[in-house]
Homo-oligomer: A and B are copies of this chain.
Amino acid sequence: MKTIENSPLTQKLSAFVALSEVELAALERLHQRRRSFVAGRDMVHQGQSAQAAYILSKGWVCSYKLQPDGTRQIVDFQVPGDFLGLRSVLLRTSDHSFEPIVDIEAAEVLTVDLLDAFAQTPRLATAILWAASRDEAMVVEHLVGIGRRDADARMAHFLLELGSRLALVGMGGKEGFECPLTQYHLADALGLSAVHVNRVLRQLRECGLVTFRDSHVTFHDYQGLVTLAEFDATYLDQTGPLLK
């Protein structure tokens, strides 16, 4: 049981819903089928509704869509504690691919097990649906960022969001966080060219706002970044009508 209390997903959910022993046990059950995947090789997820989802426990993943012309757009990143393909279990989902950015560990969750857990522990269901709606809010915010923010603000916003998400699972704070992404990942996610990502990072660094180097993000002026990005984290925690 110790393992589960330390699992990133448990940490994340606990931040928003107080989980009882029963619910922790249900979470434990979901974590049974451990699997691992190596970096770079796609875990192709065709979006068939009967398929399994994964709970990412270690490592980073990105979900992306390939264009006919060869470019790709990264739709979202998954960090420890995040679901992978959750929507393809709840709903059917669009065709995008999943690529592990580093070697990862994840728990495979069968649809039936998930529905079982939902039926038996409604509070857990609520918590997980909260996580799903939060993921969706992030995609929308991502859309807004690409459509209406310039490159600097976009980058700042992205790093702040990532920081907030990682903070929830104890992997970062207002000082910074470990980040295995390459500048190409950033480019594909933010709708920029890799060259311009580099320029933007340099500028943010020279302004004393944030440093991205050697797989580590360091915030030097958190408030300054927030201002530049017009970052408003409410879409991330949604501290509204949640279970107390």
Contact = CB atoms under 8 A, between A and B. Distances in A.
A238 B92 CA distance: 10
Given A48-B241, A71-B148, A148-B67, A87 B230 contact: no
A140 B91 contact: no
Contacts of A43: none
A71 to B, nearest CB: 5
**How many copies of this chain does one complex carry?**
2
B136 A94 contact: yes
Contacts of A240: 47-48, 92
Interface in A66-82: 67-69, 71-73, 75
Contacts of A93: 133, 136-137
Contacts of A45: none
Interface residues on A, range: 35 or more
Contacts of A91: 90, 129, 132-133, 136
Give the 6 A-B CB pairs with smallest separation, nearest first.
Answer: A147-B191, A94-B137, A92-B133, A91-B133, A73-B144, A73-B147
Interface of A: 47-50, 65, 67-69, 71-73, 75, 87, 90-96, 129-130, 132-133, 136-137, 139-144, 146-149, 190-191, 230, 232, 234-235, 238, 240-241
Given A68-B230, A94-B133, 19 more contacts: A48-B241, A49-B241, A50-B241, A65-B140, A71-B148, A73-B144, A73-B148, A90-B90, A91-B136, A92-B129, A92-B238, A93-B133, A93-B137, A94-B136, A94-B141, A95-B137, A136-B136, A143-B143, A147-B190
